[in-house]
């Protein structure tokens, strides 16, 4: 009888050990996938940030040339307003959204910052992220629909140069889509941390600050 009990105990221990190894392996694979997605997203964010820098330089260059042509030669650039207002400003604003969020650069309401590290605060922030994703999804849908409609209709600006109206919508859609990916990754990371009951991650600069969740 004792031999049977010992054998049964060994089988249970072996089964529990295998289950533990499986769970550990699954968690490790999930973390590896998250890290890979984070690196890919960060790479796209960096590329978009370079485009944003080029857009800023283009804005300054066009403005300088326009001022020189206007006051020295009385021949301003008639197309500069549409180029800057429609294309370049849209590019600079929307393509920088995701990287700004990753760095914690967006405006936040810090009324409840004293609760940071508390489980309730973590849950509230997750809910805020989920609400933001719904809002961004509506914006993305509208941008895609407006861009596709404008492209199919061949809409152009009535000006010196018939600029097509759909590229700004495409740029805005790309920026919002990347922002949604970044917010989703951060939300998953916070849910995993909250479920583990161990840490809470906060973005800020290029570092992650880790706190215990009570």
Q: What is the DSSP string of 102-129?
A: HTT-S----TTGGGTTSHHHHHHHHHHH
What range defines the domain where residue 151 resides?
Answer: 2-212
CB 145 within 8 A of CB 173: no
For residue 207, give the DSSP letter.
Answer: E
State the sign of the Cα–Cα–Cα–Cα dihedral 101, 103, 104, 106.
Answer: negative
For residues 49 and 99, is the Cβ–Cβ distance under 8 A?
Answer: yes
Q: How many structural domains does the chain have?
A: 1
The reported pLDDT for the residue numbered 119 is: 80
Q: How far is CA 166 from CA 37, 135, 156, in A?
A: 29, 22, 8
Contacts (Cβ under 8 Å, ≥6 apart) of 75: 69
Q: Which residues contact 77 (CB under 8 A, 6 or more apart)?
A: 62, 65, 66, 69
The reported pLDDT for the residue numbered 5 is 44
Give the torsion sign (CA, 117, 110, 126, 92). Answer: negative
pLDDT averaged over 10-residue windows placed end to end, the chain, 214 residues: 49 50 61 89 96 98 97 93 96 96 80 68 88 97 97 92 96 98 94 75 46 50
Distance between start and end Cα atoms, the chain: 47
CA distances from 195 to 79, 99, 184, 190 (A): 55, 27, 16, 8
Cα–Cα distance for residue pair 125/129, rounded to 1 Å: 6
The neighbouring-strand residues paired with 202 are 209
The whole-number pLDDT of residue 168 equals 97
Residue 31: predicted pLDDT: 79
Please report the pLDDT score of residue 197 as a whole number.
Answer: 74
Q: Tokens 């066009």 belong to which residue?
A: 62
């Amino acid at each position: 009888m004792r031999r049977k009990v010992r054998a049964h105990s060994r089988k249970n221990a072996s089964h529990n050990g295998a289950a533990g190894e499986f769970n550990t392996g699954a968690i490790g694979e999930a973390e590896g996938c998250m890290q890979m997605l984070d690196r890919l997203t960060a790479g796209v964010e960096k590329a978009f940030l370079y485009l944003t820098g080029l857009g800023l330089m283009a804005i300054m260059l066009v403005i300088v040339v326009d001022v020189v042509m206007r006051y020295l030669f009385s021949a301003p650039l008639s197309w500069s307003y549409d180029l800057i207002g429609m294309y370049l400003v849209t590019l600079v604003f929307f393509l920088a959204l995701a990287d700004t969020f990753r760095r914690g650069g967006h405006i936040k309401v810090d009324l409840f910052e004293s609760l940071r590290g508390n489980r309730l605060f973590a849950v509230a922030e997750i809910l805020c992220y989920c609400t933001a994703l719904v809002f961004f999804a509506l914006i993305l849908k509208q941008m895609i629909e407006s861009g596709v409609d404008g492209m199919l209709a061949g809409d152009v600006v009535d000006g010196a140069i018939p600029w097509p109206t759909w590229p700004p919508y495409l740029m805005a859609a790309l920026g919002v889509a990347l922002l949604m990916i970044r917010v989703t990754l951060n939300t998953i990371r916070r849910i995993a941390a909250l479920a583990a009951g161990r840490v809470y991650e906060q973005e800020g600069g290029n570092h992650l600050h880790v706190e215990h969740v009570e």
